[in-house]
A and B are shown apart, each in its own frame.
Chain A
Amino acid sequence: MIKTEHLRYAYNAAESEELKFVLDDIDFSVSAGEFVAVLGHNGCGKSTLAKHFNGLLLPSGGTVYVSGMDTKNETYYWDIRKSVGMVFQNPDNQIVATVVEEDVAFAPENLGVPSEEIRKRVDEALKTVDMYALRRHAPHLLSGGQKQRVAIAGVIAMEPKCIVFDEPTAMLDPKGRREVIDTILKLKNEKHMTVVLITHYMEEAVKADRVVVMHKGKIVMNDVPKKVFSEVKQLKNLGLDVPQVTELCYLLNKAGCSLPNDILTVEECADELERLLQ
C-alpha cells in the first residue's frame, strides 16, 4: 500500500547551516489492510514521515510509493491524495464547514462527485463514526472526541484505501481518546481499511498489528507489539512508556521471577500472577 525506500527529508535550512535530516534513510512499508502504529517522542520525525504518505511533503532523497505510484510524479498528484486520507491532531483546525454533514461532504465535493452519491457517502461515513444523529449540528458545539470523529468521517467520505492518523488523540480527554481509538479499530476490523497511527501513547500502539518506533529520524524498532514492548529498557531510554503491567512483569523478572516478558494486557498479567501466587 505505502512503501518508502531510503527516504530522507530535510527542512529548508539556512545556507550557512548544515543540512539536518529530519528523516534519515527510512525504509517503511504498510501492506493493505494492516494497522501500523508509529511511536516516538515529540520531534523524532514521525509527523514529517506521515506527511510524506499523501504527498504533502516530497522526499529530499529516496522515494515514496503509494499503491505503486511515486509521490514525486505530478500526474499521480490527485490519485495519491484520494487514496491516502489524513486526520490531524487539532480537531478544530480541520473542520471547514459550519454544519457537520456539510463538512463531511467537503472532500467528495472537491472531487466533483455527483450530489446523490455525495449524500450516500456522507450518510454512510457519519453512521460509521456514529455521528449520524448529530449530522445537522454546528461542529463548534461538539466535544473534542466528537469533532475528531467528524474529521474522520470527512476522510472516509473521500473513500481512501488508507487513513493516516497524525496524533489524533493528543488533545483529547480520556473519553474522547477512547471514542477515537474505537473508531479506528472499527475502520480496520469492519471496513478493512489500512491504518497508520502516529502517536506517543503506548496504550494505543498496543492495539496495532505492528509497531514502528522512531528516534532521531530513524526507525529503531519494527515488530509486533508483543516483541516491541518486551524491550522495556530500550523504550524507556527512548523516552517512551510501556504498559504498566509490562513494566511490573519486567521489574519482577529483574528481581528473579520468571514471568513471560511479552505481557501487554491486564488479563494476561492477572493470569500469570494467579498461576504464580496460587
Chain B
Amino acid sequence: MLKDITLGQYFPIDSPMHRLDPRTKLILLVLHIVAIFLANNAITCGLVTALTLLVMLLSRVPLATYLRGLKPILFVIVFTAVLNIFLTAGTKIELFGYQTPMTWEGLVLAGKMALRLVLLIFASAALTYTTSPIALTDGIEKLLSPFAKLGLPTFELAMMMSIAIRFIPTLIEETDKIMKAQKARGADFESGSLIRRVKALAPMLIPLFISAFRRADDLAVAMESRCYQGGNRRTRLNEIHFAGIDLGATCIFLLFFAVTVALRFLL
C-alpha cells in the first residue's frame, strides 16, 4: 500500500553519485531530462540510455530497487504505449494474415515513449536515492539563493520541505492507525456512493489534522529549544562543495548532451 512507495527514498550508502554536490546533480538531472526528450533516433536513444545506466551503476543502488520504483507508474507506461500502438497512423501490422489495427509506426513511437518515461524515472530516482533530503533541500536552497535578494524566503522554503519529508512516514503510519481504529468502530471506507465515501473520511481526517497540529506545536517548541533562529547565521554539518568529481561529471554530461543534440539535428 502506501508503504510500498520506494521512489524518493534515500539510500544511506557511499558511492561516487552520493559524493556529488546536490547542486550538480540537480542541474545535470534537468540537462539529462532535456536530452532524453530530444533523443529521437536509435543512436541518440542509445546514448541517453547508456548514460542513464552508467549513472545507475555508479549509484551502487541495486537494480531491483530501481525496478520497484517503476511499479507505481507502470500503468501509465503501458497505457500510453497501447494508445500509441493503436492510434498512430501508418502501415498496419499483419498477424497470421490478418490486418490488425496496430501500426508499425505506432509500435516505434510507443517504444520510444516508454523508453523515455522509464529513463526519466530512473534518472530522477538516481538523484533521490543518492541524495539525502537535507542535502537536496540544501541544494535547492543554494540554487535559489540569487532569488533571496528579491525577497524569496529560500531558507524557510527549504526548511519546510525537509520537515515535510521527515514527517511523511510518521503521518502515513498515523493514518494507518487511525483508519484501523475507526474500522474497529464500524467505519466503512470502501463501499457506498462517492459522497458517502467522502463523508466517511471525516472520522479519519479530523484526528489526523489534530495530531498533525499537535506535532507541529511540539516540533516548534523543540526547535526553539535547540536555538533555531532562521537562516542567517546557520552553518552546516556537511557543507556542500563543488569539487573535482563535480567538474568531471559535468564535463561528461555536457559532452553527451552536445553529441545528442548534434546527432538529433544532423541525422
A contact set with B: CB distance below 8 Å: 51, 54, 56, 78, 81-82, 85-86, 88, 90, 92-99, 101-102, 105-115, 118-119, 122, 136-140, 151, 154-155, 158
Task: Determine the distance from Cα of A189 to Cα of B12 in the docked complex, in whole angstroms.
Answer: 34
Q: Which of B152-184 contact A (CB under 8 A)?
A: 162-163, 165-166, 169-170, 173
Contacts of B195 in A (CB 8 A): none
Task: Determine the distance from Cα of A76 to Cα of B198 in the docked complex, in whole angstroms.
Answer: 52
B175 to chain A, nearest CB (A): 14
Q: Which of B123-138 contact A (CB under 8 A)?
A: 132-134
Q: B134 touching A102 by the CB < 8 A rule? A: yes
Contacts of A109 in B (CB 8 A): 234-237
B215 contacts A by Cβ under 8 Å: yes
Max chain A CB contacts within 10 Å: which of B162, B170, B222, B228? B222
B188 contacts A by Cβ under 8 Å: no
Q: Chain B residue with minimal CB distance to A99?
A: B132
Contacts of B12 in A (CB 8 A): 99, 136-138
- Contacts between the two chains (Cβ within 8 Å), count: 109
Q: A112 touching B234 by the CB < 8 A rule? A: yes
B219 contacts A by Cβ under 8 Å: yes
Q: B236 touching A94 by the CB < 8 A rule? A: no
Known: A98-B132, A105-B237. 13 other contacts (CB 8 A): A88-B221, A93-B222, A94-B219, A96-B219, A97-B166, A98-B166, A99-B12, A99-B134, A101-B237, A111-B233, A118-B236, A154-B226, A158-B226
A134 to chain B, nearest CB (A): 10
Contacts of B169 in A (CB 8 A): 138, 140
Interface 0/1 of B222-239, CB less than 8 Å to A = 111111110001111111
Interface 0/1 of B33-60, CB less than 8 Å to A = 0000000000000000000000000000
Contacts of B10 in A (CB 8 A): 98-99, 138
Q: A98 touching B238 by the CB < 8 A rule? A: no
Contacts of B166 in A (CB 8 A): 95-98, 139-140
Max chain A CB contacts within 10 Å: which of B215, B233, B234, B235? B235
Task: Determine the distance from Cα of A94 to Cα of B169 in the docked complex, in whole angstroms.
Answer: 15
Task: Determine the distance from Cα of A111 to Cα of B238 in the docked complex, in whole angstroms.
Answer: 15
Task: Determine the distance from Cα of A102 to Cα of B240 in the docked complex, in whole angstroms.
Answer: 14
B10 to chain A, nearest CB (A): 7
B93 to chain A, nearest CB (A): 49
Q: B226 touching A119 by the CB < 8 A rule? A: no
Q: B218 touching A94 by the CB < 8 A rule? A: yes
Q: B227 touching A78 by the CB < 8 A rule? A: yes
17 sampled A-B residue pairs with Cβ under 8 A: A51-B221, A56-B221, A81-B226, A92-B170, A93-B219, A94-B218, A94-B222, A96-B222, A97-B166, A98-B162, A109-B235, A110-B226, A110-B228, A110-B229, A112-B234, A118-B235, A154-B226
Contacts of B163 in A (CB 8 A): 96
Interface 0/1 of B107-129, CB less than 8 Å to A = 00000000000000000000000
Q: Known contacts A138-B12, A140-B169; decide if A115 and B239 are in contact (CB<8 Å).
A: yes
B42 to chain A, nearest CB (A): 41
Q: A82 touching B227 by the CB < 8 A rule? A: yes
Contacts of B225 in A (CB 8 A): 54, 56, 81, 85-86, 155
Q: Chain B residue with minimal CB distance to A93?
A: B218
Q: Chain B residue with minimal CB distance to A97?
A: B134
Contacts of B235 in A (CB 8 A): 108-109, 112-115, 118
Task: Determine the distance from Cα of A93 to Cα of B221 in the docked complex, in whole angstroms.
Answer: 10
Q: Which of B2-41 contact A (CB under 8 A)?
A: 10, 12
Task: Determine the distance from Cα of A114 to Cα of B165 in the docked complex, in whole angstroms.
Answer: 26
Contacts of B224 in A (CB 8 A): 56, 81
Of all A-B residue pairs in the complex, the 4 with the closest CB atoms, nearest first, are: A93-B218, A105-B237, A94-B222, A112-B233
B178 to chain A, nearest CB (A): 15
B128 to chain A, nearest CB (A): 12
Contact of B222 among A86, A111, A118 (CB under 8 A): A86
Q: B162 touching A110 by the CB < 8 A rule? A: no
Contacts of B228 in A (CB 8 A): 106, 110
